[in-house]
Amino acid sequence: MKKTEVAIIGGGPGGAATAIHLAKKGIKSIIIEKDTFPRFHIGESMTGECGQSVRDLGLEAEMQNVPKTIKWGVTVYGQSGTGTFWLPVMKRDENGELVKNFTWQVKRSDFDRIVLDKAVQDGTELVLGKATRVLQQEDGTVYGVEVRLENGDIETIEADVVVDASGQTTFLSTTGIAGKKERGKYDRQLAIYSHVKGARRDDEDNTLIFYEQKNHWAWFIPIDDETVSIGVVTPSDYYRDSNEEMRDFYLREMHKINPALSERVPDVTLVEEVRATSNYSYHIHGFTGRNYLCVGDAHRFIDPIFSFGLHFALKEAGLAADAIAAYLHDGVGRDLENPFAAYEEYCELGMDTIQDVLDCFWSSPISFAFFAHERYREDFIDIFAGRIYQKDASPGLQAVRKINAKMARLEKEQPELFEHVPAD
């Protein structure tokens, strides 16, 4: 049996970053990770604020030693070239002015390894095994986790706080501690992806998004001097109806989704197996409680199109460490049923903002492109960078919410307009 202050389930970016932030505050932790790193993971493009989170973790020097590309912005190509917009990565200087910035695109096998290595260097203990059960007292209070080690032995880890950073496994929800996993709005989609060599690249290695129609799009993310991550996203039934092998479907869709993608992939070589992730959109309400909280994908994932996953995982890691330190050191919330309720509310504020932005993009892509490219350009630069935790909505975000409210009203009054139109 082991004892620690914080047991962290999952050594991905969310879990490892939580351990690094906790170590800075003198709090001991154990990370439980079921996979041996380096391991493949999808999700290579960072937002501007995510890049800042990486610097705040003290990882800028390590980033120089891994293959990566510099991201100056994102271009979203509209259907057949219409509604295209570009948003640069920018930060706010001390006077609140927008100034040029950059962030990174990186192979996750490299990135996730350097974050986990740093967590271990900073003092967290890494236990290789799979968390299988939550330890609870008779009144239900969480006090640790049970782990099946790589050699099959069972280890119990007692902790003052349990952090679920298990990603899409959503361990605390699946084991009935946190709330139920509800389907997200962008469920029933399939992302099929690989890494390729031989793609035609622009002078700058930015993240490119290619829109075909609602829930049907592709990404193009250069991740080192030779390699590009390409993914195609389609409704699940569209793929099923194709009756094609996944690899054939992937290579064919690259040419079908958008001419701006097709011209970049005349003859590419796959350097990774073709993988897929389905039904990745979900939401868990009630992801904190006495002695536990969730970070990153362990409680919510909306839609990958604007590359916010790593951003949320790293941002929430810092917030979680602050909340845990206040709880353990200063007794903040000790008398409350849920000492981490404020953390949960703050996380949801950022995620709800992105949910609203995505809803507007998918329902009204042309208005969205106009807002982003012209009408509310600065507000959209802020949103895409990840400055999304303001209680007062910017004019751009208010416009997004107005459109969403209109669309919701229309859907109620004329549901036939929103019936699924099969893709051709």
Residue 304 sits in the site that holds ligand FAD (CB under 6 A): yes
Interface with ligand FAD, residue 109, by CB under 6 A: no
Residue written as tokens 């690249």?
Answer: 201
Report, in Å, the least distance between residue 217 CB and ligand FAD.
11
Please give the structure tokens belonging to residue 173. 């929800």
Give the 3-state DSSP-derived string for 74-91, with helices as H, strands as E and coil as C: EEEECHHHCCCEEEECEE
* Joined tokens for residue 223: 């991740």
Among 7, 165, 260, 261, binds ligand FAD (CB under 6 A): 165
In angstroms, give the least distance from the CB of 69 to ligand FAD. Answer: 12
43 phi and psi angles, rounded to 5 deg: 115, 70
Question: Which range binds ligand FAD by CB under 6 A, 61-69, 77-85, 161-169, 407-415?
Answer: 161-169
User: If binding is defined by CB under 6 A, does position 10 make contact with ligand FAD?
Assistant: yes
Rounded least distance, CB 325 to ligand FAD, Å: 20
Handedness of CA 363, 367, 372, 373 (dihedral sign): positive
Q: Which is nearer to ligand FAD, 229 or 258 (CB)?
A: 229
How many helices (H) and strands (E) in the chain?
Answer: 13, 22
Based on CB atoms, which residue is closest to ligand FAD, 277 or 364? Answer: 277
User: Which of these ranges, 166-174, 179-187, 262-270, 341-349, lies near ligand FAD under the rule CB under 6 A?
Assistant: 166-174
When asked if residue 234 is in the footprint of ligand FAD (CB under 6 A), the reply is no
User: Does residue number 32 form part of the binding site for ligand FAD (CB under 6 A)?
Assistant: yes
| DSSP structure class, residue 167 | G
Does residue 48 belong to the site contacting ligand FAD (CB under 6 A)? no
Buried b (16+ CB within 10 A) or exposed e, 318-344: bbbbbbbbbbbeeebbeeeeebbbbbb
Size (the chain), residues: 424
Q: DSSP strand E in 22-139: where? A: 29-33, 68-71, 73-77, 85-88, 90-92, 98-100, 103-106, 125-136
Which of 6, 131, 302, 400 lies at the binding interface for ligand FAD (CB under 6 A)?
A: 131
With 0-12 / 13-18 / 19 or more C-beta atoms within 10 angstroms meaning exposed / middle / buried, residue 225 is: exposed
395 to 78, 83, 348, 357: CA distances (angstroms)? 24, 21, 20, 13
Question: Does position 292 bind ligand FAD by CB under 6 A?
Answer: no
Q: How many residues bind ligand FAD (CB under 6 A)?
A: 37
Q: Is 45 in the site for ligand FAD (CB under 6 A)?
A: yes
350 near ligand FAD, rule: CB under 6 A: no
Please report how close the Cβ of residue 193 comes to ligand FAD at its closest, in angstroms: 6
Interaction site with ligand FAD (CB under 6 A): 9-15, 32-35, 41-46, 130-131, 165-167, 169, 171, 191, 231, 277, 280, 296-298, 304, 307, 309-311, 313
